[in-house]
Amino acid sequence: MGFLLPIIFGVFLVFTATPPSLSQLPPTITAPAPAPIPPSELCNGIFLSYRFKLGRKIPPNETTDQPYRFESVLTVLNNGREELKEWRVFVGFRHREILISAANALIVNGTELPALVGNGTILGGYPVSDLKTAIQTAGDLKQMTAKIELVGTQFMVTPPEIPMPSNISLVNDGWLCPEPTPPTPLSKREITTCCKRDPTIKVNTTLITDKFLPRQPGDLTIMYDVVRAYDQNYLAEVTMENHNPLGRLDHWELSFDWKRDEFIQKMQGAYPTVVDATKCIFGPQSKIYTGLDFADVLTCERRPVIVDLPPTKAEDPTLGKIPSCCRNGTILPRVMDPSKSASVFTMQVSKMPPDFNRSALFPPQNWRIKGTLNPDYSCGPPVRVSPTFYPDPSGMPTNKSSFASWQIVCNITNVKTETPKCCVSFSAFFNDSIIPCNTCACGCVSETRRTCSAESPPLLIPPDALLLPFENRTSLTVAWNALKHKTIPNPMPCGDNCGVSINWHMASDYRGGWTARITIFNWGGIDFPDWFLAVQMKKPAIRGFEKAYSFNASLLSVDGGVNNTIFMEGLPGLEYLVAERDELDPKKNLRVPGKQQSVIQFSKKLTPGINVAERDGFPAKVIFNGEECLLPDVLPLASGGRRNGFITVLSYIIAIFAAAFMI
Ligand SMILES: *[C@@H]1O[C@H](CO)[C@@H](O)[C@H](O)[C@H]1NC(C)=O
Ligand SMILES: *[C@@H]1O[C@H](CO)[C@@H](O)[C@H](O)[C@H]1NC(C)=O
Ligand SMILES: *[C@@H]1O[C@H](CO)[C@@H](O)[C@H](O)[C@H]1NC(C)=O
Ligand SMILES: *[C@@H]1O[C@H](CO)[C@@H](O)[C@H](O)[C@H]1NC(C)=O
Ligand SMILES: *[C@@H]1O[C@H](CO)[C@@H](O)[C@H](O)[C@H]1NC(C)=O
Ligand SMILES: *[C@@H]1O[C@H](CO)[C@@H](O)[C@H](O)[C@H]1NC(C)=O
Ligand SMILES: *[C@@H]1O[C@H](CO)[C@@H](O)[C@H](O)[C@H]1NC(C)=O
Ligand SMILES: *[C@@H]1O[C@H](CO)[C@@H](O)[C@H](O)[C@H]1NC(C)=O
Ligand SMILES: *[C@@H]1O[C@H](CO)[C@@H](O)[C@H](O)[C@H]1NC(C)=O
Ligand SMILES: *[C@@H]1O[C@H](CO)[C@@H](O)[C@H](O)[C@H]1NC(C)=O
Ligand SMILES: *[C@@H]1O[C@H](CO)[C@@H](O)[C@H](O)[C@H]1NC(C)=O
Ligand SMILES: *[C@@H]1O[C@H](CO)[C@@H](O)[C@H](O)[C@H]1NC(C)=O
C-alpha cells in the first residue's frame, strides 16, 4: 500500500498536468503511457527531497526589502541496505532565509531557532535521528522516512517565483550525493537527489552491523551515561574528558537545553549557577508532579549553567563523593596530570509525559562548554553510542554497563570569536629596547579610546618599565623615546589590557647554542594554579631544545606529527601563578604582577646555520593555559655590526646567571 499510493498519485499528476490542447486532439489508439516512476523509488540509497509548499508576502509592505513566508518539506528516505544513524542533511539556502521552525529536526551545531540560515545549514533529526531500512521494517515507510516541515522567512524571491535552495546533500561520512536534479517543468517546486555509499571509502562492516555509532575523537569529549533508569526519572553521569595536549579548562561552565520539560532534581559533583524551581511551579511540571515539594528541586531552568564544586566539597556526602569532581572546574592536559584531565558529575533528571517510560530517554541538546582563560570549544549534538562500562559500584570485580550512552564531541574552534586574553613582548640582548605587547592586544573599551589611540603601534619601552603596570609606564616611556629620538604620538597608544603577558627575551647567542629567558606576568585578578605555557618555535630551532632551568619542560607534538612544541609548567611548589596584588608599601601605590621566570637552553648541534637573532630565536606561537597569546608585529633589531657577533662561552655562562636573576 505504501508503495502504491505514490504511483497512483503520480498518475493523477500526469493527467492533471496534461495541457488541454492535447486532450482536444483526435484520440489515437495507443497503449496508455506508463506512469513515471517517482524518483524516490529509483533510488537505492538515501533519497533526499526538498519540496516547496507555499510562499506569501508578509508585512511590512516595502518593495525595497520585502519579506516573504515560505513553507517547505525536507524528506530523507532510507532506501538502502544499512540503517542510517544520525542523519545530517545540508540544505543550501541562499535567499537570506530565517528558519523559524523545523518540526522533528534541529540545526546540528546547536543554534537555536529562529536562526539566520542564508548561507545554508545542516539539519539533523530530533528526537528520532536514525532511519531504518525497508529490510529491517518490512517496508514501513514511517520508520524509513524523516519528514521535516520547515517554516521560515525569506527576502529575495517574489511569488510566484519559487525560492529553492542551491543544494541538498547528506553530510554523514562515507556518502556521496550527486547534484540535485533541478526542478522540472512538471514539478517546479521540488529538488531531489539520491545519495550512495562512497565506493572509495572502505566501509567497516563490523561498524554497520553494530547497533551504535562508534565513538569519535575530539579535543574534549562529553559522555552522557544513563546509569539508573526509572519510569519518571533517571540518573545520568556526565564525564568530560580532555584529549587535546594543549586543551584546558579553568572554572568550566557547562550548559545545555532541556527539550522535553525535564528538570534537575539533584546533583552530585557539580552545581547549577541558579538554584530555582519557580519555572516548574508555574509550568506544566507542577500539574504532573502534584505531590512533589519543589523546594527540594535543584533547578527548572530550561538552559541550566553548571559549574564544578570547590575542593572543600569533595567529601560532602550529599554534594560531592564523586571521583574526579570538585576541582574548581579545572581540567588539565593529560601530559600534566592524567588524574586531573577529566571532570565528572551526576544528576537526577525528572521526566515529563509522554516520556514516563523507563526506556524513553532523551539527552539534552545544544551543549556548550567554556572556561575563563581557555580556548573556545564548539560542541556537536549528542550521538548515541554503545553503552559505557564502568567499575561496579558495589566493589564486585565486574564492570557494569550504562543503560544508554551518548557522546558529545567538542572541538577547539580555530576561528577566534573572542579577543585574546594574553600577549607577548619581545626583547633581546643586542637591543636595549623592549617591544611591548600590541596596542589593545586584548581589546580596548570604547571609553578609554578617547584618551589613548587604539590604532598607533606600541612605543618601545626600557627594560625597567616592563615591571610596571601600563598606566604607570608613561613617564618612563616618554623619556625613553625622547632619548631614542622617536616621535611620540598624541594621544599615546593604548595599553594591551591583557590579564597575562609574557616576555620572550633572547638572552644569548653563541657558537654552540643560544638561550632565551621567558617571564610570565599575571596582571589579572585571578590566580592560575597548575598553569602551563606552550611555545611553538619556527621549524628548525625546536630541534635544538635542551632544557629549561626552572620550569618543568618537555617536547610534545600537538598534531600527532613531529615534536613541535615546548610544553612548560611550574616545578613542584611553583605551579601556582598568583594574581597581581597591590604593593605592600602603600607609598609606592603600584600594582605588582604575579610572576614566573625561566631560562631555556638550545644547542646548535642539530641545527647548524640557524639565524637565531634575526628570526629563528623567536616563537611562532605562544599558548598560555590553552589560550593563544598575541605576538608583536616586529622583532628586535640589532644595530650595526653587533648582530652576528657571538658572545664568548664565558659571557654566555654569565648571561645565564644574570638572566635568571635580572627581573
Ligand atoms: C504596498 O505598497 C505599494 C507601494 O509601496 C502599494 O502600491 C500597495 O497598494 C501596497 N499594498 C498594500 C496591500 O497595502
Ligand atoms: C554568509 O556568508 C557571508 C560571507 O562569508 C557573511 O558575510 C554573512 O554574514 C553570512 N550570512 C549568514 C546569515 O551567516
Ligand atoms: C551554526 O549554523 C548556523 C546556520 O547554518 C550558522 O549561521 C552559524 O554560524 C553556525 N554556528 C557555528 C558556531 O558554527
Ligand atoms: C552540494 O553539496 C555537496 C556536499 O556538501 C557538494 O559536494 C556539492 O559540490 C554541492 N553542490 C553544489 C552545486 O553546490
Ligand atoms: C572495524 O572496526 C573494528 C571495531 O572498531 C576494528 O577492530 C577493525 O579493525 C575495523 N576494521 C577495519 C578494516 O578497519
Ligand atoms: C573534532 O576533531 C576530530 C579530529 O580531531 C574530528 O575527527 C571530528 O570530526 C571533529 N568533530 C567535530 C564535531 O567537528
Ligand atoms: C577555588 O575557588 C575559590 C573561589 O573562586 C578559591 O577561593 C579557592 O582558592 C579555589 N581553590 C583552588 C584549589 O583553586
Ligand atoms: C515504553 O517504550 C517502549 C519503546 O519506546 C515501548 O515498546 C513500550 O511499550 C513502552 N512502555 C509503556 C508502558 O508505555
Ligand atoms: C572494566 O573496565 C575497565 C576499563 O574500561 C577495564 O580496564 C577492566 O579490565 C574491566 N574489568 C572487567 C572485569 O572487565
Ligand atoms: C600608578 O597608576 C595608578 C593609576 O593611574 C595611580 O593611582 C598610582 O598613583 C600610580 N603610581 C605611581 C607610583 O605612579
Ligand atoms: C618528542 O619528545 C618526547 C619527550 O621529549 C620524546 O620522548 C619523543 O621521543 C619525541 N618524539 C619525537 C618524534 O621526536
Ligand atoms: C631595537 O629594535 C627596534 C625594533 O625592531 C628598532 O626599532 C630599534 O632601532 C632597535 N634599537 C637599536 C639600538 O638597534
pLDDT digits (tens, 9 = 90+) for 131-182: 998 988 899 999 999 999 999 999 988 888 899 999 999 998 889 999 998 8
Q: What is the pLDDT of residues 51-76, one digit of tens each?
A: 999 999 999 998 889 999 999 999 99
Residue nearest to atom 12 of ligand 1 (CA): 61
Same domain, 386 and 468: no
Most distant CA pair in the chain: distance in Å? 111
Q: From ligand 10's centre to the CA of 469, what distance in Å?
A: 9
Strand pairing class (263-268; 377-379): unpaired
Q: What is the pLDDT of residues 518-540, one digit of tens each?
A: 999 999 888 888 899 999 987 78
Q: From ligand 10's centre to the CA of 186, what distance in Å?
A: 78
Lowest mean pLDDT among 100-104, 209-213, 482-486, 541-545: 209-213
Domain boundary among 164, 197, 230: 197
Asked if residue 516 is part of any domain, the answer here is: yes
Same domain, 363 and 431: no
Looking at the predicted structure, is the pLDDT value of residue 652 above 70? no
Which ligand 7 atom is at minimum distance from the Cα of 328? 1
- Mutation pick for ligand 11 pocket among 551, 563, 565 (CB with most ligand atoms within 8 Å): 563
User: Which alpha helices (DSSP H) does 270-338 contain, by range?
Assistant: 278-281, 285-288
Looking at the predicted structure, is the pLDDT value of residue 281 above 50? yes
Asked if residue 17 is part of any domain, the answer here is: no
pLDDT class of 206 with cuts at 50, 70, 90: very low
The tally of domains found in the chain comes to: 3
The residue with greater pLDDT, 417 or 405, is 405
Determine what percent of the chain is predicted with pLDDT higher than 70: 87
**Average pLDDT in the 85-92 region?**
92
Q: From ligand 10's centre to the CA of 578, what distance in Å?
A: 21
pLDDT at 641: 44
458 contact partners, CB below 8 Å, separation of at least 6: 435, 436, 437, 438, 439, 493, 496, 632
407 contact partners, CB below 8 Å, separation of at least 6: 215, 216, 221, 222, 223, 224, 382, 383, 385
Q: What is the pLDDT of residues 589-632, one digit of tens each?
A: 788 888 899 999 999 998 888 888 888 899 999 999 888 899 99
Domain boundary among 197, 232, 263: 197
**Average pLDDT in the 254-275 region?**
94
What is the average pLDDT value for the chain, to the nearest integer? Answer: 85
Asked if residue 638 is part of any domain, the answer here is: yes
- Mutation pick for ligand 12 pocket among 425, 426, 427, 431 (CB with most ligand atoms within 8 Å): 431
Asked if residue 567 is part of any domain, the answer here is: yes
Q: From ligand 10's centre to the CA of 585, what distance in Å?
A: 13
Residue nearest to atom 6 of ligand 1 (CA): 61
Looking at the predicted structure, is the pLDDT value of residue 582 above 80? no
Domain boundary among 362, 378, 412: 412
**Average pLDDT in the 109-113 region?**
78
Asked if residue 3 is part of any domain, the answer here is: no
Same domain, 280 and 394: yes
Provide the residue count of the chain: 663
CA distance linking residue 343 with residue 322, whole number of Å: 10
pLDDT class of 49 with cuts at 50, 70, 90: very high
pLDDT at 659: 45
Pick left, alpha or beta for residue 328 (phi over 0 → left; psi -120 to 50 → alpha; otherwise beta).
Answer: left
Ligand nearest to the CA of 208: 5
Asked if residue 19 is part of any domain, the answer here is: no
The answer to whether 445 touches 523, Cβ cutoff 8 Å, is no
Same domain, 523 and 638: yes
Asked if residue 8 is part of any domain, the answer here is: no
Same domain, 188 and 322: no
Same domain, 542 and 401: no
Same domain, 498 and 458: yes
Which ligand 12 atom is at minimum distance from the Cα of 638? 14
CA distance linking residue 490 with residue 456, whole number of Å: 10
CATH classification of the domain holding 399: 2.60.40.290
CA distance linking residue 128 with residue 78, whole number of Å: 14
Q: From ligand 11's centre to the CA of 2, what distance in Å?
A: 62
Return the C-alpha cell found at 486. Answer: 622617536
Q: Give the range of the structural domain holding residue 188, as residue numbers without chain letter.
A: 36-197
Same domain, 426 and 400: no
Which ligand 10 atom is at minimum distance from the Cα of 588? 13
Asked if residue 205 is part of any domain, the answer here is: no
Same domain, 436 and 560: yes
Same domain, 506 and 544: yes
Same domain, 253 and 354: yes
Same domain, 168 and 247: no
77 contact partners, CB below 8 Å, separation of at least 6: 40, 43, 46, 47, 48, 49, 131, 141, 144, 145, 146
